[in-house]
Amino acid sequence: ETGVTQTPRHLVMGMTNKKSLKCEQHLGHNAMYWYKQSAKKPLELMFVYSLEERVENNSVPSRFSPECPNSSHLFLHLHTLQPEDSALYLCASSQEVYNSYEQYFGPGTRLTVT
């Protein structure tokens, strides 16, 4: 089983839909992250969880709602999105938060909002 998995890999949704992105890590890490990656822009950190507790929320619109039921799973619930939310959404994990450990990334979900 690869380290960090994400489903679905591709998602097309209308602005009125509700969908969820799922991330699972098999590395025994305590920290998990959601990033947004838009073309030719730096990775934008959205949320950080440490042992299921949210520790960072970087001014993300409320139409994005994270959930971390346990240290291995992370969800991003989406509702009433805008076309500018179309991007690659990456999940990552690391051994601990607030430390210089490398982050391991999943393959991402390519989201298109129509």
Partner 1 sequence: GQNIDQPTEMTATEGAIVQINCTYQTSGFNGLFWYQQHAGEAPTFLSYNVLDGLEEKGRFSSFLSRSKGYSYLLLKELQMKDSASYLCAVMDSNYQLIWGAGTKLIIKP
| Nearest alpha carbon to residue 111 among 5, 9, 24, 6 | 9
Stretch that binds partner 1, among 11-19, 20-28, 39-47, 75-83 (CB under 8 A): 39-47
**C-alpha radius of gyration, the chain, whole number:** 13
One character per residue 74-113, x = contact with partner 1 (rule: CB under 8 A): ----------------x------xxxx-xxxxxxx-x---
Task: Dig out the tokens for 40 from the structure.
Answer: 């030719």
Which neighbouring-strand residues pair with 80? none
Task: Out of 13, 45, 51, 60, name the contact with partner 1 by CB under 8 A.
Answer: 45
Coil/strand/helix, residue 108:
coil
The yes or no reply on residue 51 touching partner 1 (CB under 8 A) is no
List interacting residues with partner 1 (CB under 8 A): 4, 40-43, 45, 56, 90, 97-100, 102-108, 110
